[in-house]
Amino acid sequence: MSGSRGFKAVSQDGFFYDGAKFYTQVSCGSRKQKIERADADYLYSLLTPPDSSRKDRNITFYRGQLKHYGVQASSLKTKKAVKQRLLAAFENAEKTLEVPIHIRRIEAQLKEQYEPVWERRLNKQDGTEVDGWEPAISLKNCLWTFQRFWSDVGMDNLGNSSSLQEGFTLHSSDTYQHRCLLRCQGILYDETEEADDMDFVDDLDEIDVGADITVSDIVVSDETENENVPFVGTDCAVPDLKYTVPGGPQVAVPHPSLLWVDPEALGLTDLTSNDRYQIVKLSLETKGVDALQILYRKAKRDTKEVSLSSVHLDNISFGTKDADWAKGWGNGCMICYDGKPPKGMVACPCRFKAYCMQCLQRMMDNHRNGEGLLSCPTCRVPVYAVSKTWIDRSPGDEKARKAKKAEKRRQNKDNRILAKCMRREERGKDIRLQQQ
Protein backbone atom coordinates (compact mmCIF):
# COMPACT_ATOMS: atom_id res chain seq x y z
CA MET A 1 0.00 0.00 0.00
CA SER A 2 1.93 2.96 -1.26
CA GLY A 3 -0.16 5.86 -0.09
CA SER A 4 -3.32 6.97 1.62
CA ARG A 5 -6.48 6.27 -0.34
CA GLY A 6 -8.15 9.46 0.80
CA PHE A 7 -10.70 7.84 3.10
CA LYS A 8 -11.21 8.42 6.78
CA ALA A 9 -8.86 6.44 9.01
CA VAL A 10 -10.07 3.63 11.23
CA SER A 11 -9.19 3.94 14.90
CA GLN A 12 -8.94 1.92 18.09
CA ASP A 13 -7.70 2.86 21.58
CA GLY A 14 -6.15 6.12 20.36
CA PHE A 15 -4.32 4.62 17.36
CA PHE A 16 -5.21 5.23 13.71
CA TYR A 17 -4.61 3.66 10.30
CA ASP A 18 -5.47 5.50 7.07
CA GLY A 19 -4.40 2.95 4.48
CA ALA A 20 -0.79 4.17 4.38
CA LYS A 21 0.47 4.79 7.89
CA PHE A 22 -0.15 3.76 11.48
CA TYR A 23 -0.10 6.72 13.85
CA THR A 24 -1.43 8.24 17.03
CA GLN A 25 -2.72 11.76 17.62
CA VAL A 26 -1.17 14.08 20.19
CA SER A 27 -2.58 17.46 21.23
CA CYS A 28 -0.45 20.38 20.12
CA GLY A 29 -2.07 23.56 21.36
CA SER A 30 -5.56 23.79 19.86
CA ARG A 31 -4.98 21.09 17.24
CA LYS A 32 -3.97 17.45 17.08
CA GLN A 33 -0.82 16.27 15.34
CA LYS A 34 -0.36 12.86 13.71
CA ILE A 35 2.71 11.08 15.08
CA GLU A 36 4.05 7.92 13.44
CA ARG A 37 6.24 5.45 15.31
CA ALA A 38 9.95 6.21 15.01
CA ASP A 39 12.58 3.49 14.69
CA ALA A 40 14.11 2.60 18.06
CA ASP A 41 17.69 3.29 16.87
CA TYR A 42 16.73 6.69 15.47
CA LEU A 43 14.86 7.56 18.65
CA TYR A 44 17.84 6.58 20.82
CA SER A 45 20.14 8.75 18.68
CA LEU A 46 17.84 11.71 19.31
CA LEU A 47 17.89 11.10 23.05
CA THR A 48 21.71 10.77 23.14
CA PRO A 49 23.01 13.22 20.49
CA PRO A 50 26.81 13.34 19.98
CA ASP A 51 26.71 17.14 20.13
CA SER A 52 24.23 19.86 20.97
CA SER A 53 24.18 21.26 17.43
CA ARG A 54 21.94 18.46 16.16
CA LYS A 55 18.38 19.58 15.43
CA ASP A 56 15.91 18.19 17.97
CA ARG A 57 12.25 17.23 17.59
CA ASN A 58 9.38 18.91 19.47
CA ILE A 59 7.64 17.61 22.60
CA THR A 60 4.64 16.39 20.57
CA PHE A 61 6.88 13.93 18.73
CA TYR A 62 8.30 12.51 21.96
CA ARG A 63 4.85 12.22 23.57
CA GLY A 64 3.72 10.25 20.55
CA GLN A 65 6.68 7.88 20.93
CA LEU A 66 5.75 7.31 24.58
CA LYS A 67 2.37 6.07 23.42
CA HIS A 68 3.74 4.02 20.52
CA TYR A 69 6.15 2.14 22.79
CA GLY A 70 3.68 1.75 25.66
CA VAL A 71 5.62 3.90 28.13
CA GLN A 72 3.33 5.31 30.82
CA ALA A 73 4.10 8.97 31.51
CA SER A 74 0.89 10.99 31.28
CA SER A 75 1.84 13.53 33.96
CA LEU A 76 5.04 14.81 32.32
CA LYS A 77 4.71 18.43 31.19
CA THR A 78 8.12 19.40 29.74
CA LYS A 79 10.11 18.03 26.83
CA LYS A 80 13.10 17.41 29.06
CA ALA A 81 11.05 15.25 31.42
CA VAL A 82 9.51 13.31 28.52
CA LYS A 83 12.94 12.65 26.98
CA GLN A 84 14.32 11.52 30.32
CA ARG A 85 11.43 9.08 30.69
CA LEU A 86 12.09 7.64 27.23
CA LEU A 87 15.81 7.37 27.93
CA ALA A 88 15.09 5.56 31.20
CA ALA A 89 12.92 3.11 29.28
CA PHE A 90 15.82 2.46 26.89
CA GLU A 91 18.23 1.88 29.77
CA ASN A 92 15.81 -0.50 31.50
CA ALA A 93 15.54 -2.48 28.26
CA GLU A 94 19.31 -2.58 27.65
CA LYS A 95 19.31 0.33 25.17
CA THR A 96 16.56 -1.03 22.95
CA LEU A 97 12.80 -0.68 22.87
CA GLU A 98 10.27 -3.19 21.58
CA VAL A 99 6.73 -2.32 20.57
CA PRO A 100 4.36 -4.02 23.07
CA ILE A 101 2.40 -6.99 21.79
CA HIS A 102 -0.98 -5.35 22.44
CA ILE A 103 -0.03 -2.34 20.28
CA ARG A 104 1.17 -4.59 17.44
CA ARG A 105 -2.12 -6.45 17.73
CA ILE A 106 -4.04 -3.16 17.46
CA GLU A 107 -2.01 -2.24 14.36
CA ALA A 108 -2.80 -5.58 12.71
CA GLN A 109 -6.49 -5.30 13.58
CA LEU A 110 -6.75 -1.78 12.16
CA LYS A 111 -5.16 -2.89 8.88
CA GLU A 112 -7.66 -5.74 8.67
CA GLN A 113 -10.55 -3.38 9.44
CA TYR A 114 -9.48 -0.79 6.86
CA GLU A 115 -9.81 -3.03 3.80
CA PRO A 116 -13.57 -3.72 4.09
CA VAL A 117 -14.17 -0.08 5.08
CA TRP A 118 -12.24 1.09 2.02
CA GLU A 119 -14.08 -1.32 -0.30
CA ARG A 120 -17.47 -0.29 1.13
CA ARG A 121 -16.75 3.43 0.71
CA LEU A 122 -15.32 2.87 -2.76
CA ASN A 123 -18.48 1.01 -3.77
CA LYS A 124 -20.57 3.82 -2.32
CA GLN A 125 -18.50 6.36 -4.26
CA ASP A 126 -18.94 4.39 -7.49
CA GLY A 127 -22.68 4.04 -6.92
CA THR A 128 -22.50 0.23 -6.77
CA GLU A 129 -23.79 0.07 -3.20
CA VAL A 130 -27.49 -0.69 -3.49
CA ASP A 131 -28.59 -0.59 0.14
CA GLY A 132 -27.43 1.39 3.14
CA TRP A 133 -28.43 -1.40 5.53
CA GLU A 134 -25.29 -3.39 6.22
CA PRO A 135 -25.50 -5.67 9.28
CA ALA A 136 -22.19 -6.61 10.83
CA ILE A 137 -20.92 -9.62 8.89
CA SER A 138 -20.22 -11.87 11.87
CA LEU A 139 -23.56 -11.19 13.51
CA LYS A 140 -25.72 -12.12 10.52
CA ASN A 141 -29.44 -11.96 11.32
CA CYS A 142 -29.68 -13.85 14.62
CA LEU A 143 -30.80 -11.89 17.65
CA TRP A 144 -29.76 -14.71 19.93
CA THR A 145 -26.12 -14.14 18.97
CA PHE A 146 -26.38 -10.60 20.35
CA GLN A 147 -27.73 -11.95 23.63
CA ARG A 148 -25.14 -14.71 23.80
CA PHE A 149 -22.31 -12.26 23.18
CA TRP A 150 -23.76 -10.03 25.90
CA SER A 151 -23.59 -12.78 28.53
CA ASP A 152 -20.38 -14.49 27.37
CA VAL A 153 -18.06 -11.61 26.53
CA GLY A 154 -19.19 -8.85 28.86
CA MET A 155 -21.37 -5.78 28.86
CA ASP A 156 -18.70 -3.08 28.62
CA ASN A 157 -17.72 -4.02 25.05
CA LEU A 158 -21.20 -3.42 23.67
CA GLY A 159 -20.73 0.34 23.49
CA ASN A 160 -17.88 -0.12 21.00
CA SER A 161 -18.66 -1.72 17.67
CA SER A 162 -15.04 -2.73 16.98
CA SER A 163 -14.86 -4.50 20.34
CA LEU A 164 -18.19 -6.13 19.58
CA GLN A 165 -16.90 -7.47 16.28
CA GLU A 166 -13.59 -8.60 17.78
CA GLY A 167 -15.25 -10.32 20.72
CA PHE A 168 -17.82 -12.09 18.59
CA THR A 169 -15.15 -13.31 16.15
CA LEU A 170 -13.20 -14.59 19.12
CA HIS A 171 -16.17 -16.67 20.22
CA SER A 172 -17.12 -17.83 16.72
CA SER A 173 -15.45 -21.24 16.94
CA ASP A 174 -16.98 -24.24 15.21
CA THR A 175 -18.55 -25.32 18.50
CA TYR A 176 -19.96 -21.83 19.08
CA GLN A 177 -21.38 -21.62 15.56
CA HIS A 178 -22.91 -25.04 16.05
CA ARG A 179 -24.52 -24.02 19.32
CA CYS A 180 -25.86 -20.83 17.76
CA LEU A 181 -27.38 -22.68 14.83
CA LEU A 182 -28.96 -25.27 17.13
CA ARG A 183 -30.38 -22.53 19.34
CA CYS A 184 -31.82 -20.68 16.37
CA GLN A 185 -33.46 -23.84 15.07
CA GLY A 186 -35.05 -24.49 18.45
CA ILE A 187 -32.78 -27.47 19.24
CA LEU A 188 -31.74 -26.65 22.79
CA TYR A 189 -29.17 -28.08 25.16
CA ASP A 190 -28.48 -28.03 28.87
CA GLU A 191 -26.65 -24.73 29.49
CA THR A 192 -25.43 -25.91 32.89
CA GLU A 193 -22.80 -28.11 31.22
CA GLU A 194 -19.56 -26.86 29.73
CA ALA A 195 -19.55 -26.31 25.97
CA ASP A 196 -16.85 -28.92 25.31
CA ASP A 197 -18.70 -31.60 27.34
CA MET A 198 -22.17 -31.02 25.90
CA ASP A 199 -24.32 -33.95 24.85
CA PHE A 200 -25.82 -32.63 21.64
CA VAL A 201 -28.95 -34.14 20.16
CA ASP A 202 -28.84 -36.65 17.32
CA ASP A 203 -29.68 -33.97 14.75
CA LEU A 204 -26.19 -32.59 15.26
CA ASP A 205 -24.73 -34.87 12.58
CA GLU A 206 -27.02 -33.39 9.97
CA ILE A 207 -25.52 -29.90 10.33
CA ASP A 208 -22.26 -28.74 8.77
CA VAL A 209 -20.40 -27.46 11.82
CA GLY A 210 -17.55 -25.92 9.87
CA ALA A 211 -19.78 -23.87 7.59
CA ASP A 212 -20.54 -20.23 8.28
CA ILE A 213 -24.03 -19.46 9.51
CA THR A 214 -25.98 -17.66 6.81
CA VAL A 215 -29.12 -15.58 7.01
CA SER A 216 -31.13 -18.43 5.46
CA ASP A 217 -29.96 -20.71 8.28
CA ILE A 218 -31.18 -18.33 10.98
CA VAL A 219 -34.87 -19.09 10.69
CA VAL A 220 -36.65 -19.49 14.01
CA SER A 221 -40.18 -20.77 14.20
CA ASP A 222 -42.67 -18.49 15.92
CA GLU A 223 -44.14 -21.63 17.46
CA THR A 224 -41.04 -22.25 19.60
CA GLU A 225 -42.24 -21.91 23.19
CA ASN A 226 -39.03 -22.44 25.16
CA GLU A 227 -38.55 -19.40 27.38
CA ASN A 228 -34.76 -19.71 27.16
CA VAL A 229 -34.85 -18.41 23.58
CA PRO A 230 -35.00 -14.59 23.81
CA PHE A 231 -36.74 -12.60 21.08
CA VAL A 232 -37.77 -15.70 19.11
CA GLY A 233 -39.16 -15.02 15.64
CA THR A 234 -37.96 -11.39 15.53
CA ASP A 235 -35.81 -10.12 12.65
CA CYS A 236 -33.16 -7.42 12.88
CA ALA A 237 -35.09 -4.99 10.67
CA VAL A 238 -38.73 -3.92 10.68
CA PRO A 239 -40.23 -5.37 7.46
CA ASP A 240 -41.12 -2.91 4.68
CA LEU A 241 -39.94 0.12 6.65
CA LYS A 242 -37.09 2.34 5.47
CA TYR A 243 -35.68 5.68 6.52
CA THR A 244 -34.28 7.93 3.79
CA VAL A 245 -31.14 9.76 4.88
CA PRO A 246 -31.31 13.36 3.56
CA GLY A 247 -29.14 13.42 0.48
CA GLY A 248 -28.23 9.76 1.00
CA PRO A 249 -29.50 6.20 0.67
CA GLN A 250 -32.39 4.44 2.33
CA VAL A 251 -31.56 2.43 5.45
CA ALA A 252 -33.61 -0.21 7.20
CA VAL A 253 -35.13 0.52 10.60
CA PRO A 254 -34.00 -1.94 13.31
CA HIS A 255 -36.53 -3.75 15.46
CA PRO A 256 -37.14 -1.96 18.81
CA SER A 257 -35.68 -4.93 20.69
CA LEU A 258 -32.28 -4.10 19.12
CA LEU A 259 -32.14 -0.44 20.11
CA TRP A 260 -29.88 -1.31 23.07
CA VAL A 261 -27.15 -2.18 20.51
CA ASP A 262 -24.65 0.36 19.16
CA PRO A 263 -26.07 1.53 15.77
CA GLU A 264 -22.67 1.01 14.13
CA ALA A 265 -22.78 -2.65 15.16
CA LEU A 266 -26.03 -2.86 13.19
CA GLY A 267 -24.39 -1.37 10.11
CA LEU A 268 -25.89 2.11 10.60
CA THR A 269 -22.87 4.36 10.13
CA ASP A 270 -22.21 7.98 9.12
CA LEU A 271 -25.53 9.21 10.53
CA THR A 272 -26.23 12.51 12.25
CA SER A 273 -28.03 12.63 15.59
CA ASN A 274 -31.18 13.72 13.74
CA ASP A 275 -30.97 10.64 11.50
CA ARG A 276 -30.57 8.38 14.53
CA TYR A 277 -33.45 10.16 16.26
CA GLN A 278 -35.75 9.57 13.28
CA ILE A 279 -34.74 5.89 13.11
CA VAL A 280 -35.44 5.36 16.82
CA LYS A 281 -38.73 7.24 16.45
CA LEU A 282 -39.86 5.08 13.51
CA SER A 283 -38.75 1.90 15.26
CA LEU A 284 -40.62 2.65 18.50
CA GLU A 285 -43.75 3.80 16.68
CA THR A 286 -44.08 0.37 15.05
CA LYS A 287 -44.95 -0.89 18.55
CA GLY A 288 -47.20 2.04 19.43
CA VAL A 289 -44.59 3.85 21.56
CA ASP A 290 -44.67 7.63 21.16
CA ALA A 291 -41.02 8.60 20.74
CA LEU A 292 -41.89 12.25 21.35
CA GLN A 293 -42.48 11.25 24.97
CA ILE A 294 -38.87 10.09 25.24
CA LEU A 295 -36.53 11.75 22.76
CA TYR A 296 -36.23 15.39 21.74
CA ARG A 297 -33.84 16.98 19.29
CA LYS A 298 -33.73 20.43 20.90
CA ALA A 299 -31.25 19.87 23.71
CA LYS A 300 -30.33 23.52 24.23
CA ARG A 301 -33.84 24.34 25.39
CA ASP A 302 -33.80 21.43 27.84
CA THR A 303 -30.28 21.78 29.20
CA LYS A 304 -29.54 25.51 29.14
CA GLU A 305 -30.20 25.75 32.90
CA VAL A 306 -28.03 22.71 33.68
CA SER A 307 -24.27 22.81 34.06
CA LEU A 308 -23.27 20.27 31.41
CA SER A 309 -19.66 20.10 32.57
CA SER A 310 -20.77 18.99 36.02
CA VAL A 311 -22.73 16.01 34.71
CA HIS A 312 -20.54 15.09 31.72
CA LEU A 313 -23.16 15.65 29.04
CA ASP A 314 -20.89 17.06 26.32
CA ASN A 315 -22.23 14.63 23.74
CA ILE A 316 -25.98 14.70 24.50
CA SER A 317 -27.83 15.96 21.43
CA PHE A 318 -31.46 15.95 22.54
CA GLY A 319 -33.37 15.68 25.78
CA THR A 320 -36.81 15.97 27.37
CA LYS A 321 -39.20 18.67 28.50
CA ASP A 322 -37.90 18.41 32.07
CA ALA A 323 -34.65 20.37 32.26
CA ASP A 324 -33.43 18.45 35.31
CA TRP A 325 -33.45 15.07 33.51
CA ALA A 326 -29.76 15.64 32.78
CA LYS A 327 -28.88 15.27 36.46
CA GLY A 328 -29.88 11.62 36.22
CA TRP A 329 -27.05 10.93 33.79
CA GLY A 330 -24.58 12.62 36.10
CA ASN A 331 -25.70 10.50 39.07
CA GLY A 332 -25.12 7.25 37.19
CA CYS A 333 -27.26 4.11 37.15
CA MET A 334 -30.71 4.51 38.72
CA ILE A 335 -30.65 0.95 40.08
CA CYS A 336 -27.22 0.11 41.47
CA TYR A 337 -25.95 3.69 42.18
CA ASP A 338 -22.34 2.45 42.19
CA GLY A 339 -20.89 5.11 39.91
CA LYS A 340 -20.85 3.00 36.73
CA PRO A 341 -21.19 5.11 33.58
CA PRO A 342 -24.74 4.97 32.20
CA LYS A 343 -24.97 3.05 28.95
CA GLY A 344 -28.66 3.32 28.13
CA MET A 345 -32.20 4.24 29.07
CA VAL A 346 -35.68 2.80 28.76
CA ALA A 347 -38.27 4.27 26.41
CA CYS A 348 -41.02 5.11 28.89
CA PRO A 349 -43.06 8.26 29.75
CA CYS A 350 -41.07 8.86 32.96
CA ARG A 351 -38.18 9.62 30.61
CA PHE A 352 -34.42 9.45 30.63
CA LYS A 353 -33.72 7.33 33.65
CA ALA A 354 -30.14 6.17 33.08
CA TYR A 355 -28.94 2.61 33.67
CA CYS A 356 -25.62 0.80 33.43
CA MET A 357 -25.26 -2.10 31.01
CA GLN A 358 -25.25 -4.74 33.76
CA CYS A 359 -28.60 -3.57 35.16
CA LEU A 360 -30.09 -3.34 31.66
CA GLN A 361 -28.99 -6.92 31.05
CA ARG A 362 -30.60 -8.14 34.27
CA MET A 363 -33.84 -6.36 33.42
CA MET A 364 -33.91 -7.90 29.95
CA ASP A 365 -33.05 -11.37 31.27
CA ASN A 366 -35.97 -11.13 33.72
CA HIS A 367 -38.48 -10.11 31.05
CA ARG A 368 -37.95 -12.44 28.10
CA ASN A 369 -41.32 -12.46 26.42
CA GLY A 370 -40.54 -12.86 22.74
CA GLU A 371 -40.72 -9.14 21.93
CA GLY A 372 -37.70 -7.79 23.77
CA LEU A 373 -39.86 -5.77 26.16
CA LEU A 374 -38.88 -5.05 29.74
CA SER A 375 -40.70 -3.33 32.60
CA CYS A 376 -39.58 0.16 33.61
CA PRO A 377 -38.42 -0.01 37.26
CA THR A 378 -40.10 3.36 37.95
CA CYS A 379 -43.48 3.34 36.20
CA ARG A 380 -43.77 -0.41 35.39
CA VAL A 381 -44.72 0.31 31.78
CA PRO A 382 -43.57 -2.35 29.25
CA VAL A 383 -40.84 -0.59 27.28
CA TYR A 384 -37.69 -1.14 25.20
CA ALA A 385 -34.09 -0.39 26.16
CA VAL A 386 -32.31 2.28 24.09
CA SER A 387 -28.51 2.59 24.03
CA LYS A 388 -26.89 5.91 24.86
CA THR A 389 -25.00 5.68 21.55
CA TRP A 390 -28.25 6.52 19.73
CA ILE A 391 -28.21 10.01 21.29
CA ASP A 392 -24.49 10.80 21.16
CA ARG A 393 -23.31 13.63 19.01
CA SER A 394 -21.61 12.65 15.75
CA PRO A 395 -18.98 14.47 13.62
CA GLY A 396 -21.77 15.27 11.17
CA ASP A 397 -23.62 17.23 13.87
CA GLU A 398 -20.68 19.54 14.44
CA LYS A 399 -20.22 20.03 10.71
CA ALA A 400 -23.90 20.85 10.26
CA ARG A 401 -23.81 23.23 13.24
CA LYS A 402 -20.84 25.14 11.78
CA ALA A 403 -22.49 25.31 8.36
CA LYS A 404 -25.71 26.64 9.89
CA LYS A 405 -23.76 29.19 11.91
CA ALA A 406 -21.86 30.35 8.81
CA GLU A 407 -25.11 30.67 6.87
CA LYS A 408 -26.65 32.71 9.68
CA ARG A 409 -23.64 35.05 9.73
CA ARG A 410 -23.94 35.49 5.96
CA GLN A 411 -27.66 36.30 6.24
CA ASN A 412 -27.04 38.79 9.05
CA LYS A 413 -24.38 40.50 6.95
CA ASP A 414 -26.74 40.72 3.96
CA ASN A 415 -29.48 42.11 6.21
CA ARG A 416 -27.13 44.77 7.60
CA ILE A 417 -26.10 45.82 4.08
CA LEU A 418 -29.74 45.94 2.98
CA ALA A 419 -30.73 48.00 6.03
CA LYS A 420 -27.85 50.39 5.37
CA CYS A 421 -28.92 50.83 1.74
CA MET A 422 -32.51 51.49 2.80
CA ARG A 423 -31.39 54.14 5.30
CA ARG A 424 -29.32 55.84 2.60
CA GLU A 425 -32.29 55.80 0.26
CA GLU A 426 -34.53 57.30 2.95
CA ARG A 427 -32.01 60.05 3.64
CA GLY A 428 -31.76 60.75 -0.10
CA LYS A 429 -35.54 61.12 -0.32
CA ASP A 430 -35.54 63.53 2.63
CA ILE A 431 -32.81 65.65 1.05
CA ARG A 432 -34.65 65.80 -2.28
CA LEU A 433 -37.87 66.84 -0.53
CA GLN A 434 -36.05 69.59 1.35
CA GLN A 435 -34.47 70.89 -1.86
CA GLN A 436 -37.88 71.08 -3.52
Between the alpha carbon of residue 140 and those of residues 97, 129, 180, the distances in Å are 42, 18, 11
Per DSSP, the residues of 61-127 read HHHHHHHHTT---TT--SHHHHHHHHHHHHHHTTS-----HHHHHHHHHHHHHHHHHHHHHHHHHHT
Whether residue 250 sits in one domain with residue 204: no
Per-residue confidence (pLDDT) for residue 263, from 0 to 100: 77
Q: Give the residue with greater pLDDT, 147 vs 88.
A: 88
pLDDT at 377 over 50: yes
Provide the pLDDT confidence category of residue 124 given band limits of 50, 70 and 90.
Answer: low
Of the listed ranges 103-107, 110-114, 364-368, the least confidently predicted one is 364-368
Q: Is residue 286 part of a domain?
A: yes
Contact 368, 147 (CB under 8 A): no
Give the whole-angstrom CA distance, residue 148 versus residue 164: 12
Domain end among 179, 199, 233: 233
Whether residue 375 sits in one domain with residue 238: yes
Q: Is residue 222 part of a domain?
A: yes
Provide the pLDDT confidence category of residue 168 given band limits of 50, 70 and 90.
Answer: very low
pLDDT at 297 over 80: no
Whether residue 47 sits in one domain with residue 20: yes
Contact 20, 3 (CB under 8 A): yes
Q: The pTM is what?
A: 0.41
**Domain, as residue range, for 382:** 234-393
Whether residue 249 sits in one domain with residue 201: no
Whether residue 209 sits in one domain with residue 326: no
Whether residue 226 sits in one domain with residue 250: no
| Tens of pLDDT, residues 15-54 | 888 777 888 888 777 778 888 888 888 888 888 876 666 6
How do 250-254 and 344-346 pair as beta strands?
unpaired
Per-residue confidence (pLDDT) for residue 212, from 0 to 100: 35
Per-residue confidence (pLDDT) for residue 187, from 0 to 100: 39
Give the whole-angstrom CA distance, residue 166 versus residue 288: 35
Q: What is the torsional sign of CA 117, 123, 127, 133? A: negative
Average pLDDT over residues 349-354: 64
Whether residue 139 sits in one domain with residue 85: no
pLDDT at 214 over 50: no
Of the listed ranges 160-169, 214-223, 288-297, the least confidently predicted one is 214-223
Average pLDDT of the chain is: 64
Per-residue confidence (pLDDT) for residue 395, from 0 to 100: 63
Contact 389, 159 (CB under 8 A): yes
Domain end among 183, 211, 233: 233
pLDDT at 177 over 80: no
* CA angle (428, 433, 434) in 5-degree steps: 100
Whether residue 211 sits in one domain with residue 288: no
Q: Give the residue with greater pLDDT, 113 vs 160.
A: 113
Average pLDDT over residues 280-284: 85
Task: Please give the tally of structural domains in the chain.
Answer: 3
